Amino acid sequence: MEARDAAAAGEVVSSDSQCLLMAIDITQERGLTHLDYKYLDGAPVCRFPLFNFLQPLPMDWMYLVYVVMFLGAFGIMLGCFYRLSCLMFISTYWYIFFLDKTTWNNHSYLYGLIGFQLTLMDGNRYWSVDGLRRPSIRNAHVPLWNYTVLRAQIFIVYFIAGIKKLDADWVEGYSMSYLAHHWLFDPFKLIFPVELVSLLVIHGGGLVLDLTAGYLLFFDATRPYAFLFVTYFHCMNSQLFSIGMFPYTMLATSALFCYPDWPRRFFARFPAFLRVVLPSTSPTTQPSTSCVYSETQATSTGRQETPSHKLGAIFTILYLIEQFFMPYSHFVTQGYNNLTNGLYGYSWDMMVHSRSHQHVKITYKDGKTGEIGYLNPGVFTQSRRWKDHGDMLKQYATCLSQLLPRYNISDPEIYFDIWVSINERFQQRIFDPRVDIVKADWSPFRPITWLMPLLVDLSPWRTKFQEIEGSLDNQTEIVFIADFPGLHLENFVSEDLGNTSIHLLQGKVNVEIVDQNKNYTLQAGEQIKVPAGAYHKVFTVSEEPSCYMYIYVNTTEAALQENFTKLFELQERVRNGTETEPLPPELQPLIAVDDDEGSEVNATDPIVRLFLKRQRRMKEVKKRREAGVLERLERFAVKKYYSIRRGFLMTAIALRNLAVGLPPLEQLTREVAFANMKEPPAEANQDERLKDEVGHGEL
């Protein structure tokens, strides 16, 4: 393994930028800012560690764990006590990672891998504090395997992600079709219809980029074009998804594919008076004991091959083999396979599967009295990921069985009825609702026996779904359901949902109207209207799965929108002077000055008040969307400042508690209130608030 001249510069600068982003990530996605909400010290909470014996430490000690992790990342970035900093980072990072499977994703796994790799590498040879302390390693060569592992890791992230996108759902454009409506794709919609933007730009472009990015970055001739495309790709991802520092980390790793001396050449362009504070630009380097040299170089340097060099080569080969194997290791860890394979987090199948949940019901049965009751989905937990993973569902059921006896429920049995649509398929059950999950068998190495199969044979129906949805008006909603023979769906239709009907597409079902004690049999092509404000049951009695759809209108929302339209038209007539009739007192707030929040307060009619509130929010949303770059940056900076500020203040409180003990309750309350101080009231998250203002009732 020959040394690369000046190799330290490129690797160290790239790894420094990665570690800076990982240090920032600790306050964000790792959860330092909201650590007290995440772990809820002393509260009855169901947790989902990889190994059941792993438990979080007391709250103040968890803050100390995060401090160690942050100092480790910062130490790696500075090259200060490098090996110790690496050990501090990876030991705490992997502890937190294994502590909660619900937060797993591919980039969190990647951060841990990079931390592990840096522990074994010579990342402190250039522009480092260790280099100042130890001249013998300053500007020393770095072995080629360091670069090989880092470059190969990033290549694997791209390439395996591309291989995973060869999945039929991605190629046919079903995985991320909803993204085509995002404003980022508006320029493409000037050329293509929305359907082609989804198929060609989002799915086709994502597939091609992932498959080719690693190759394009590797070659000199294509690297500039690769930088352009991956920069555009990751900047778009930073706006499309809430994935923390990952897009910026991937941008930082792109520099690994450049020549190792690029930082020296880059900083050599700066004026001479700035070079005092900038990294060294001298081409002079020194040999390293970590490197193997050719016979001529070995004679001049006195460096000979040692067993550690062979271990480095063996590690590189074994590590890369393991990394190519892991994304396809699901035949080993079969207990983690569900409707899709494996725990989401180490497969590099980013965004290949989208899910939408329509119905989640948790039923408990008292083992002694036989009493049956229902639990709110997600009770005793802050996560929603358990709904899709059998291993987490088993942990959740076990936890519930331990907590429910506190509420006079003895030896509880727990049943889950969870419905999900994968990539725009029918809504279907994931797990058998007849199985008591508390007593159900689960092993990480055996298939889940109570897992229902994905109804892939019904996938062609998705084309028909689009035709049916296209034939409906804007006020009519539709839900497509598929169920297994011998099972039934119990459903309640909200009183807001008028004109609700069931249309059978395939199979045979019996519909029971519970209040009326009546049963109706439906064959394919038949339909029945079900009453609002009442329960009904749909039994699948055919030998093959039944397929049917609910069609309904949210009459409450439709009436509200009609009233909003009338009020808007009246408001416009008043403003342009064409309204001749005087307004009654309850409509007087409609002519108030724009953006006058007092008009909402003065409005006595609830419809008028809601209309004015909605108008103000729409103006705020429009203002945010039309804001200039500087205003957006200021808003972003202020939000991040108060978020990071809270994390560090709460950390200081925790460390003080560990050092000198808890203060009086009144003082602690004041300190936490000061840490919780937020930015001045603004139109934050108006898009989401406006979206949620008038929600659809769930069938």
Banded model confidence at residue 685, pLDDT cuts 50, 70, 90: very low
What was the pLDDT predicted at 694?
A: 32
Banded model confidence at residue 7, pLDDT cuts 50, 70, 90: very low
What percentage of the chain exceeds 90 in pLDDT? 49
- Of 154-163, 224-233, 688-697, least confident by mean pLDDT is 688-697
- Which two three-digit tokens encode residue 54? 């792993």
Checking if the pLDDT of 155 tops 80, the result is: yes
Nearest to 643 by CA among 24, 18, 22, 63: 24
Convert the pLDDT of each residue in 115-125 to its tens digit.
Answer: 999 999 888 88
Convert the pLDDT of each residue in 494-508 to its tens digit.
Answer: 888 878 999 999 999
Checking if the pLDDT of 337 tops 80, the result is: yes
Taking the model in full, what pTM does it have? 0.87
Of 164, 165, 387, 508, the catalytic one is 165
Pairing mode, strands 413-422 and 355-365: antiparallel
DSSP 81: S
Banded model confidence at residue 690, pLDDT cuts 50, 70, 90: very low
Catalytic residue at 623?
no
Which runs of consecutive H residues, i.e. helices, occur in 79-185?
A: 82-99, 106-119, 129-133, 144-164, 168-171
Banded model confidence at residue 597, pLDDT cuts 50, 70, 90: low
What was the pLDDT predicted at 272?
A: 80
Per-position DSSP letters for 383-423, written without gaps between them:
-SGGGG-HHHHHHHHHHHHHHGGGGT--S-EEEEEEEEEET
513 three-class SS: strand
Q: Which residues pair with 414 in a beta bridge?
A: 364
Average pLDDT over the chain reads: 86
User: For the chain, which domains are there?
Assistant: 354-454 (no CATH), 461-557 (2.60.120.10), 629-676 (no CATH)
